[in-house]
Structure formats: C-alpha cells, structure tokens
Amino acid sequence: MKFSEEFLFNIPKTDLHVHLDGSLRLSTLIDLAKQYKVELPSYTESGLTELVYKKQYKDLAEYLEGFKYTVAVMQNEEALERIAYEFACDNFKENVFYFEVRFAPQLHINSNLDYEKILLSVNRGLKRAKDEFNNKEEVKNGLKPLYNYGIIVCAMRMFNKYFSEYYNKLFQAHSFSTEKEIFKYASLELAKAVVYIRDNYNIPIVGFDLAGQENGYPPDTHYEAYDYCHKNFLKKTVHAGEAYGPESIFKAITYLHADRIGHGFHLFHADKIQDPDIKDKDRFIKNLSNYIADNRITLEVCLTSNLQTHPDVKNLKNHTFKDMIENDLSVTLCTDNRLMSYTSVTNEYKIATDNFDISPKKLKDIIMYGFKRSFYPDNYKNKRNYIRTIINYFDKVFSNFYNS
C-alpha cells in the first residue's frame, strides 16, 4: 500500500540510529565554521552540496569525508548545545516523538572539553528542546504524546591518530601498545566514563555503540568495554553488517551482547561471508537470521544511507530490507545522518512504503518496533504506558486519513 507523505509526516515515529555529527543544519555548519575559523571547501549551502554533502557518493569513504568538517565545529560547549538543540527541534517538528541520538565523545575531547562537559552540553540542548515541545498546549492537554530522547555513546573501532588532540595524546601515552590494544583501552575508558556520568549526572545515556571501519577491525577487540556496559545495565547496539559480511553481525551478538544491530545490510548476503570455517554459508545465514528473529534483536535500517554508500545497489527494491520484513524480523527505519544523506525520518518511511509491499499492519509493526525496542530512559512500566499513548495516537492519525 502507498501512503501519502502527509500521513507519514503526521504519524508518531522514532529514530534509533542517527548521528549527531552527521545531522547538523547546513546553515549552522557554515555559521559555526566562520565563527571558529574552521576552513570549509565552500561557505555557501549550494557549494557544500556540490562538493561535500551530495545526494550520491561513490563509496563509503567519500560519504564519511564530510564528518571532518562537522566534528571540527563541535569542539566547545556552546556549539555542542546549539547543534543538539536544533537537532532535537528538527526531529520533534516531524513528529519523531522519541529518538536516540549517538555520537563519539572522544572525538570532541580537547584541552577545554572533557567527558562531563561534552555530554552535559549535548544534554542541555536536547532537554531544552524537549521541554519546549512538551510545554505546547496540544501535549499538555493530551492531544499529542510526550516528546522524549535518549543518548547513545559511540566507541570507535579505530581512529586516525591525527583526528583529535585527545587521540594524539593517547597514542603517545601507549606508544608500546599495538593500535588495536589502544582502541580497546579507549573503548573501555569510555564505557567506564559514561556509566559514571549516567549514574551521577542524571543524563539519559541509554546505550553504547561501536562505530567506524568494520573491515580489519572486528568487534571482539572491544569485548571488555561491552562486558562492562553489560554488567552495568547499559543497553548495547553495534554497527555491523554495514560494510562487512554476516560474520560481523554474528560477532556483535555473541561477543558484545548486542541488543540491536546498526544497519545489518549484509545479513542475507551469503557471498559476503569470508570466514573459511563457515562451510555451509546458506545454513549459517538461515541460523543467524532465525536467531535474530527469535530473540527480537532489532535491526536499525538506514535505506538512503545504504544506497549512498553501496552504489552497486542500483535499485532500492534490491535492498535486504525486503528479506528482513519477509522473515518477520524486528526492524525500525532510521536516518543514519540527516545531513550526509539529505533525509528525514518521514522520507525514510516514504521510500520504504513506495518500494516495498508494506500493509497498514506491517507499517504499524515497524513503527512500534521502534518504540518497543528503544532503550527508553525510564522503568519498564512507564515505557509500556508511553507506548500505549503512541499506539492510540497512531490509530487516531490513521483513522483521520484513511477511515474518514
């Protein structure tokens, strides 16, 4: 069934996989670059659209190029708070009632910023937007659900040692360690820091993520960090199966206790399996997908982003999202990066419903997976009550559009 863009805009939505440093307003990037003397290839929106933030990229490397500019302007408290506030407003305005925004604090550490300042600044911006929207009459009188958010903190599979002041110092301090050992130490340090900040600053840090280059940097290197999060009741998601085969997803689940998987694009691609010990590739895929389905390990699907970073996928209809919904997996649609991908949550649902066979019931299921499998920053009872308000609101919007 095809759904109108107006309907998809109005229904309640989540975004559980979206990067703060990939979702700046282009005008804000230019403004902050001028303010903080950050060199850009162009200082006009049209120029940056042509040179950096394109609608199509030749590969993942080109897609990631734009982050060096966004991260460069996110190196003080004021910029972090402003970007977080605008990000939250942009989501709430399109009826994304709940999102979990992620970023890597270690990319923002410098002589003036530590973990606490970084996370407090981002939270101030998000909370200010949340309070403004929840103070609107339609929310206070119960006509619309409450707006809310969580923060997911990203560890990195690998770093360019020249990317930040912090990592220059880290490599110098561990000069006798291998690169992978350094990355392992960094992830564990981050895990300890965010658990401490969550517990002592009342910030809704709800999850831990692992991002960065998959190929050559397997998830099991970061086992200790994830084990620490696991033992401290911090939920876990992992970028896996985005640029590497199904083994990456398997390791994220078995080594890192992943509650959700970011992307999972290659889940059904048996030809991408490289492990020589896996003899029956089709059986491996079947067992892995069945395990994911049975345990309701939710896949955070980013359609536009995957098309941009996998130009060999010429047609969206060839995306493995089709296999995911046909196998009844728990999936939720996400933006990944609102700026880099020129997208919104509404747009992700529009292209999904335009290209795949999604009934009203299936659409509602996908929407509700986002809320039910979120790392909601409250107790289970309150989460269930909140989801009930979302279900009621979805039904009301659907009725207004299709049963009137």
Look at 19-28, 49-58, 293-302 and tell me which has the smallest mean pLDDT.
49-58
- 129 with 122: CB under 8 angstroms? no
Q: For the segment 390-400, what is each residue's pLDDT rounded down to a tens digit?
A: 999 999 999 99
Catalytic residues: 242
Rounded CA-CA distance 150/102 in Å is: 9
Give the DSSP H or E segment for 300. Answer: strand 298-301
What is the predicted pLDDT for the residue at 248? Answer: 94
Q: What is the pLDDT of residues 204-235, one digit of tens each?
A: 999 999 998 878 888 889 999 999 999 999 99
- 3 state SS of 285: helix
Mean per-residue pLDDT for 56-78? 91
The contacts of residue 37 (CB under 8 Å, 6+ apart) are none
The confidence score (pLDDT) of residue 162 equals 43
Average pLDDT, the chain: 93
Rounded Cα distance between 34 and 329, Å, is 46
* Cβ–Cβ < 8 Å for 21, 107: yes
**Distances in whole angstroms, Cα of residue 305 to Cα of each of 18, 64, 89, 136, 347:** 11, 11, 22, 33, 12
Among residues 254, 280, 284, the alpha carbon closest in space to that of 268 is found at 284
pLDDT for the residue numbered 404? 60
Place of tokens 């279900």: 391
pLDDT at 163: 52
- DSSP assignments along 156-197, one per residue: ES---TTS-HHHHHHHHHTTTS-HHHHHHHHHHHHHHHHHHH
Look up residue 337 and give its two tokens.
Answer: 């990066």
Q: Which domains does the chain have, with CATH numbers?
A: 5-27+70-402 (3.20.20.140)
* pLDDT, tens digit (0-9, with 9 covering 90-100), for 146-185: 999 999 999 998 876 545 566 666 666 666 677 788 889 9
CA distance 284 to 273: 9
d(CA 49, CA 312): 22
Mean pLDDT of 380-385: 98
Q: Which two tokens stand for residue 200?
A: 């002592």
Tell me the two tokens of residue 70.
Answer: 């966004």
Q: What is the mean pLDDT of residues 47-70?
A: 89
pLDDT value, residue 291: 97
Contact yes or no for 71/20 (Cβ under 8 A) = no
Q: Give the phi and the psi of residue 384 in degrees, each rounded to 5.
A: -60, -40
Once rounded to an integer, what is the mean pLDDT over residues 268-282? 94
What's the one-letter identity of residue 389?
T
Q: Which helix (H) or strand (E) covers residue 152, if one does?
A: strand 148-156
R_g of the chain computed on alpha carbons: 20
If one counts every other C-beta atom within 10 angstroms of the C-beta of residue 217, the result is 18
Order of all β-strands in the sheet with 13-19: 13-19, 96-103, 148-156, 205-211, 235-240, 260-263, 298-301, 331-333
The pLDDT assigned to 243 comes to: 83
pLDDT of residue 182: 83
Give the model confidence (pLDDT) of 113-151 as tens digits. 999 999 999 999 999 999 999 999 999 999 999 999 999
How many C-beta atoms surround the C-beta of residue 275 within 10 A? 13
H or E element in which residue 154 lies: strand 148-156
Q: Does this model's pTM top 0.75?
A: yes
Q: Is the pLDDT of residue 80 over 90?
A: yes
